[in-house]
Amino acid sequence: MSSQNPPQERRVVTEIPGPRSRALQERRAAAVAPGVSSVLPVYVTDAGGGVIVDADGNSLIDFGSGIAVTNVGNANPRVAERVKAQVDRFTHTCFMVAPYESYVEVCEALNRLTPGDHEKRSILVNSGAEALENAVKIARYATGRDAVVVFDHGYHGRTLLTMTLTSKNMPYKQGFGPYAPEVYRMPMAYPFRWPGGREDCGPQAAAQAIDQITKQIGAANVAALVIEPIQGEGGFIDPAPGFLPALAAFCRDNGIVFVADEVQTGFARTGDLFACEHEGVVPDIVATAKGIAGGLPLAAVTGRAELMDRIHAGGLGGTYGGNPVACQAALAVLEEIENEKLADRARAIGDIMLPRLRALAERHPAIGDVRGRGAMLAIELVEPGTTVPDAALTAEIARRCHAAGLLVLTCGTYGNVLRFLPPLVIPEHLLKEGLDVLEEAFAAG
Ligand SMILES: *Cc1c(COP(=O)(O)O)cnc(C)c1O
């Protein structure tokens, strides 16, 4: 995409991590709290297109995009240009003190681009967790109700409320309680693990969730239902067809605010601009972050005007929310998605990857499930012929990929999912080479 990108090649010149990265890792151990950990401690010097270059001169193929953030690449020229120009003009005024146009422009774009043609308003914040926090605040205010419904395997962040909304104990919650009140967890339509089988998973899971909400909470007490249209950290669980539309209809009938957490799925990642579009679901509120601004810290809450307009002046905000540099980056990302047709590009990535992952699963019965959409794909590893998770093999395959110069991430409630999130601008030859490396990692076992 650009001459500034590092050479678009896989190059392994030392052990990974190499000596320079290992020395930095030692320094880090004395300075950085160990609670913040890294998937692969190679210290980055350059990145762009489809590669990450480390301090030892290794060039790794990137199948992670910094967790679905750098959809437009790490060194996108449009992002760099707008950011540089903004940094030269001003870096901060605080939108709550003295506003600027780019914040308004980002909100206009989100209102236009998120699902549904109803009137919308947006606010800008700093992180996915902060977006979810605000979505719940708004839903509670607007409905006058307390309860929040979330789902098994869901991930929504690390703040007190969003950690509570999150399903998995280790590492996100262990020791960090007590948790926030009035959060209720329902079963997820997880096709691979649904006791009644894939075919009936969507309607059965929806019926079960609705039955539990009705019996255990009472629909009239529920402020918001918060769900990821494809679950991220929980294992790239693509809910069975019919599940999301049934929940959305239930929310509509009962005055419950349907909040789509599109933090990981948003901005063309799944082949649609937003993953909800796949089944035509129109959320009342959409929370976005990760892919919004090419890695600059920005997040948003976009919702129905009649909900958003309820909140009193000063009830929402934050010092850095909608920072002008981050807003310029977001405007560049949105231009790039449109001009480079990145949603189509995500579909093309899926069209290349899915057949190869399915063929790999044919050869290796440890791959129990292949799933996802667009450039958000995963394989789930189990003991062959069962659904018993194999986290050890998952870690070993990831280790082999890393050693060979392919950065892959794992996820899942059971730690047994390899997930693939290449930048949408990754050159095709690197995408294919990354798949070669993955295949070799399985063959080596
Ligand atoms: C990453 C993530 C969050 C939290 O975002 P942060 O920016 O890390 O606070 C929330 N929801 C989903 C689905 C995510 O993937």
| pLDDT of 208 strictly over 80 | yes
Write the DSSP symbol of residue 258.
Answer: E
Mutating to test ligand 1, I would choose from 156, 160, 285, 320 the residue with most ligand atoms within 8 A of its C-beta, which is 156
Rg (CA), the chain: 21
Per-residue pLDDT tens over the stretch 331-375: 999 999 999 999 999 999 999 999 999 999 999 999 999 999 999
Write down the number of H helices and E strands in the chain.
13, 15
Tell me the pTM.
0.98
Provide the mean pLDDT of the chain: 97
Per-residue pLDDT tens over the stretch 15-28: 999 999 999 999 99
Alpha-carbon distance of 353 to 356, in angstroms, equals 5
Lookup: tokens for 340? 């480079």
Lookup: tokens for 204? 């059965």
| pLDDT of 1 strictly over 80 | no
Per-residue confidence (pLDDT) for residue 39, from 0 to 100? 95
Strand partners, 302: 122, 286
Find the Cα–Cα–Cα–Cα dihedral 186, 207, 115, 231, rounded to 10°.
40
Check if the beta carbon of residue 267 is closer than 8 Å to that of residue 227: no
- 157 C-beta closer than 6 A to ligand 1: yes
Per-residue confidence (pLDDT) for residue 278, from 0 to 100? 98
Q: What percent of the chain has pLDDT over 70?
A: 99
Per-residue pLDDT tens over the stretch 242-259: 999 999 999 999 999 999
* DSSP strand pairing (120-125 vs 299-304): antiparallel
Query: Of 120, 66, 56, 426, whose CA–CA distance to 283 is shortest?
Result: 120
Residue 423: Cβ-neighbour burial (10 angstroms; 0-12, 13-18, 19+): buried
Per-residue confidence (pLDDT) for residue 5, from 0 to 100? 77
Alpha-carbon distance of 67 to 50, in angstroms, equals 14
| pLDDT of 166 strictly over 70 | yes
Indicate the pLDDT class of residue 400, thresholds 50, 70 and 90: very high
Lookup: tokens for 217? 């909470």
Per-residue confidence (pLDDT) for residue 131, from 0 to 100? 98
Per-residue pLDDT tens over the stretch 284-315: 999 999 999 999 999 999 999 999 999 999 99
Indicate the pLDDT class of residue 2, thresholds 50, 70 and 90: very low
Nearest atom in ligand 1 to 264's CA: 15
Indicate the pLDDT class of residue 445, thresholds 50, 70 and 90: confident
Per-residue confidence (pLDDT) for residue 333, from 0 to 100? 98
Mutating to test ligand 1, I would choose from 124, 159, 263 the residue with most ligand atoms within 8 A of its C-beta, which is 263
Exposure class string for 215-238: b at 16+ Cβ within 10 A, else e: eebebebbbbbbbbbbbbbbbbbb
Per-residue confidence (pLDDT) for residue 3, from 0 to 100? 47
Alpha-carbon distance of 235 to 379, in angstroms, equals 9
Nearest atom in ligand 1 to 68's CA: 15
| Residue that the structure tokens 């919650």 belong to | 173
**Distance from residue 404's CA to the centre of ligand 1 (Å):** 29
AA letter at 20: R
Through-space distance between the first and last CA atoms of the chain, rounded to whole angstroms: 36
Structural domains in the chain, CATH included, are: 19-75+341-443 (3.90.1150.10), 79-339 (3.40.640.10)
Per-residue confidence (pLDDT) for residue 240, from 0 to 100? 97
**Distance from residue 423's CA to the centre of ligand 1 (Å):** 18
